[in-house]
Amino acid sequence: MRLWVSVALVVLASAANAEVLLSEDEIEQTLSFGPWPPSLQPDPSNRVSNDASAIALGAALFNDPLLSVDGAFACASCHDPEQAFTTTEARALGRVLLDRNTPSLRNLAGLRWYGWGGKSDNLWAASLHPIIADEEMAHSKESLKAAISDSPYINDFEKTFGEIQKQDPELVLVNTAKALSAFLETIITEATQFDGFRDALERGDFVEAANYPEAAQRGLQLFLGRGNCVFCHNGPRFSNNEFHDAGVPYFLNEAEVDEGRFGGLNILLSSEFTLDGDWSDDPDKQGAWAVRGVRRSHSDFGMFRTPSLRGVAETAPYMHNGNFIDLEAVIRHYSEIDIERLHADGEDILAKLSLSEQEIADLISFLVTLSSKP
């Protein structure tokens, strides 16, 4: 009995010490980062979205080097499921050193754009590109069809998509990508310490919310306030899914730059695999408004898609080219950014923050709570 009382007192005492530091306004903004996980509809452009056998087939293919012409790589070679669906290399190593960092493939369902430069407007097109890219899996449509026909997956493939010999090689390619996409849609990160905090605030449970570390709360306040991070990293995924210049050097070598969104739009607008194209399974062409209405601008050059920050602590190194080795390097970059050197003209958002060491540590503490692994 006595023991129970003292335990209760300890809990009360620690609860009294910890508190919610956020203002009402900050709480309101914090709620907009949830709920998590979001409720997702099947992808109307992919008739096998949410289909259990397609998902199983996609998972098997993802891990199988069969999808590269000479068996050199699987998707999983770069997007390693044991490493949050990426690897620790700054830039992906395909047949050559690629220009970009391998993104984690989590929480991709339902986005408006895929790829650092947004070259795809749907997940099956984003899954299709690497299969036929010369520097990556390097299949042709024909070699892919032959590989699948001769593989142990042929029965599962035909169960989902019908007889393969009746399919054009291009249809086999698109179907393969749609199975991969159905699988990728199921990769969703778990609720995190941050979500526990956010949900407690929504319930008005301040005792529970006060368990969220004060350093992380201060970091969140900076994220919402002086840091301006929320301008681009907003919503439940901490990304507006649009394209910005975060001041990352974008030279590939002395003569070339990564064109970012500019190049992404070139590929998108000449692609037959968009939501507006014939390969979409959606008669209503939902989502096609974006590719139809997207505007081109001079400032697309060197802009990259705002990455989601969910699970970010698990996916170093960072940025489109893996330029920064850890979160501290990213925060120091934002702290010391030289706005004169921003290449995309006119976006008046980033400013040199000159953060103190304490503030840098606080922002990192906050970002770490967006992962389920401590």
Partner 1 sequence: MTRWAFWFLISSGPVVACEAVGQRAASDVEDAPEVYVSSEVVPLAQPFSILIEVCNETPVSEILVDAIMPAHQHGLNYTPKVTALDEGKFRIDDLLFHMPGLWELQVDVDFNGKLVSYTSEIALR
Which residues here bind partner 1, judged by CB under 8 A? 28-29, 31-32, 230-232, 234-235, 240-243, 289-290, 293-295, 299, 346-349
- Residue 330, binding choice from partner 1, ligand HEC, none, Cβ under 5 to 8 Å by partner class: ligand HEC
Alpha-carbon distance 37 to 191, whole Å? 7
Answer for the pair 210, 18: CB distance below 8 angstroms, yes or no: yes
If the CB atoms of residues 10 and 231 are measured against ligand HEC, the closer one turns out to be 231
Q: Shortest distance, CB of residue 28 to ligand HEC, whole angstroms? A: 19
If the CB atoms of residues 73 and 153 are measured against ligand HEC, the closer one turns out to be 73
If the CB atoms of residues 202 and 214 are measured against ligand HEC, the closer one turns out to be 214
Element (H, E) at 244: strand 243-244
Q: Shortest distance, CB of residue 209 to partner 1, whole angstroms? A: 17
Residue 193 burial class via C-beta count within 10 angstroms: exposed 0-12, middle 13-18, buried 19 and up: middle
Answer for the pair 195, 34: CB distance below 8 angstroms, yes or no: yes
Amino acid letter, 134: D
Would you tell me which residues interact with ligand HEC (CB under 6 A)? 67, 73, 75, 77-79, 92, 94, 98, 100, 102-103, 105, 108, 114-117, 123, 126-127, 130-131, 136-137, 180, 184, 223, 227-229, 231-233, 244, 246, 248, 304, 306-307, 309, 312, 315, 318-320, 327, 330-331, 334, 349-350, 363
Q: Shortest distance, CB of residue 208 to ligand HEC, whole angstroms? A: 26
Alpha-carbon distance 352 to 135, whole Å? 38
Q: Shortest distance, CB of residue 307 to partner 1, whole angstroms? A: 14
Q: Shortest distance, CB of residue 1 to ligand HEC, whole angstroms? A: 49
Alpha-carbon distance 81 to 7, whole Å? 42
CA distances 143 to 53, 69, 157, 169, Å, are 24, 7, 16, 9
- Residue 77, binding choice from ligand HEC, partner 1, none, Cβ under 5 to 8 Å by partner class: ligand HEC
Length of the chain: 374
- Residue 290, binding choice from ligand HEC, partner 1, none, Cβ under 5 to 8 Å by partner class: partner 1
Q: Shortest distance, CB of residue 19 to ligand HEC, whole angstroms? A: 24
Closest CA to 259 of 299, 295, 317, 291: 299
CA angle at 268 for the pair 262 and 273, rounded to the nearest 5°: 170
- Residue 100, binding choice from ligand HEC, partner 1, none, Cβ under 5 to 8 Å by partner class: ligand HEC
Instruction: Read off the DSSP letter of residue 123.
Output: H
- Residue 28, binding choice from partner 1, ligand HEC, none, Cβ under 5 to 8 Å by partner class: partner 1
Alpha-carbon distance 362 to 359, whole Å? 5
